[in-house]
Amino acid sequence: MSGANNSFQRALCPLLVAGQCFALMPVSGLTGYDASTLQFRWLSPRVAYTFLSLVGIFCHLCVCVRELVVADHITYSACAPPIFFAVTFLATCFYLRLATKWPDLVSKWQTVEQTMLKDYGYPRNFERRCKFCAAFMLTASTVEHLMALYSCLLRALPRSTGGLDVVRAFYTSWFEQAFKMTEYALWKSLLLQLSNFLATFTWSYMDMYVTLVSMALTEKFLQFGEGLRAVRGKAAPLKFWREARQLYDNLCCLTRTVDEHISHLVLLCLASDLYFICLQLFNSLKNVKTLYGYIYFFYSFGYLLFRASSMCFCAAAVNEVSQKPRDVLYAVPAGTYNAEVERFIDRVTTDEVALTGFRLITLNRRLILTIVGSIVTYELLLVQQGNGQGSFSEELEYAANITIM
């Protein structure tokens, strides 16, 4: 059955398999057609890999925190490395926890899919879109990572004595803090690079994951909405409305279940995106000197913005499409209006169906503007601080120079 490729499990498969390369989501049987193929075991190479990755990221985190404590000067920018690794560390933990519950979640999803199968089928082209998203994400992240490597290489070249020493120069310049604490060795560098690599991907992965899961939910609601719109303004039997209401109820419960499993991930995602967008904007206002610096900055900032906003819009779409049945229900002709329609209307208008960030925020369209407003406010506050200090000391220097003359 070709349509089954558009099922939740099959469509998300490429993304999850990609995630497993980065030590995320250590579940076996992802490529199967049925939830029963999925299995999580604590004693498996996948989980071991995840733990290794956690250890690596933890090392990075320790180095960064130590650096911060030693520097004894906490600024907004200086906090970025420890926050980056703390976020990826937490994310890996969250995915590990999610993995233990993944078979269960997919099986619940499949139950809903089975219910809808006869009347609605699978969402069309959903698998293709997911594949495209996963591929896009992997490519874009790889390009970003390569650009970062190249940027570091440019800095390392002058310090190298030529030949293969460029490798040493490169690594000591990249993991400067780490190799202050311990002596340089190639194997250490390679391990550090691997875990750094995993961390970088984990960071982008989160947004993409939330985006795709939201899209999957949205698709289900859209399918349902299409079926409903077909009877808009027409007479439909009580039985139709009862089944529609029950299906809607199932979809809402599914959304809640998904939310219970990923809401902490969503919050982490939102918080880290907010932090890094503010940071990049803040940096953008300082001078970027070289052309390559410009390109790198705009690429990575643009990618971050794209990821964050696509996540927000996709997650908000779940809330939006869950409200679509309203119009049809309001327009039910007086003749066929019945207790089931009334109950359905009550259901739709009194319940807020949406993904949330640890249930602290509801991801809807209004949230997006709130976030933009926060970014503008924090940015103005940060700029002021930065400006105040920056231009201040420069001008003081100027004043001092005059007085010395």
Q: Which is nearer to its own copies, 129 or 242 (CB)?
A: 242
Q: Of 226 and 342, which CB lies nearer to its own copies in the complex structure?
A: 342
Closest listed residue to residue 175, CA positions, set 192, 158, 194 = 192
Helical H runs in 157-185? 165-174, 176-181
Whole-number Å distance between alpha carbons of 399 and 405? 10
**Closer by beta carbon to its own copies, 36 or else 393:** 393
Residue 356 beta carbon to its own copies: minimum distance, rounded to whole angstroms: 8
Query: Residue 43 or 402: which CB sits closer to its own copies?
Result: 402
User: For residues 162 and 335, which CB has a smaller minimum distance to its own copies in the complex?
Assistant: 335
Closest contact distance (angstroms) between CB of 266 and its own copies is 13
CA distance 183 to 282: 34
Q: Which of 32, 20, 12, 5 is nearest to 209 (CA)?
A: 12
- Min separation Cβ 358 and its own copies, Å: 8
Q: Cα dihedral angle (129, 135, 138, 140), rounded to 10 degrees? A: -90
Q: At closest approach, how far in Å is the CB of 257 from its own copies?
A: 11
Minimum separation from the CB atom of position 143 to its own copies (A) = 24
Q: Given the complex with its own copies, which of 31 and 391 has the nearer CB atom?
A: 391
Closest CB 258 distance from its own copies, rounded Å: 15
In sequence order, the 6+-apart residues with CB closer than 8 A to the CB of 385 are 76
The distance of closest approach from Cβ of residue 327 to its own copies in the complex, given in angstroms and rounded to an integer, is: 7
Identify which of 112, 101, 121 has the alpha carbon closest to the alpha carbon of residue 255. Answer: 112
Find the radius of gyration of the CA atoms of the chain: 25
268 in Cβ contact with 94 (< 8 Å): yes
Residues that bind its own copies (CB under 8 A): 72, 74, 242, 249, 252-253, 256, 285, 287, 320, 326-327, 330-331, 334, 337, 339-340, 343, 345-347, 349-351, 357, 359-362, 365-366, 368-369, 373-374, 376-378, 380-385, 387-389, 391-393, 395-396, 398-400, 402-404
Other CB atoms within 10 A of residue 72 CB:
6
Output the smallest distance, CB 260 to its own copies, in A. Answer: 12
The DSSP output letter for 361 is E
Token pair, residue 225, equals 């909405």
Give the residue with the Cβ less far from its own copies, 105 or 382: 382
User: 239, 244, 221, 264: which is closest to 96 by C-alpha?
Assistant: 264
Q: Would you give the distance in Å from CA 59 to the centre of its chain? A: 23
To 10 degrees, what angle do helices 238-284 and 291-321 make? Answer: 160
Of 119 and 346, nearer to its own copies (C-beta) is: 346
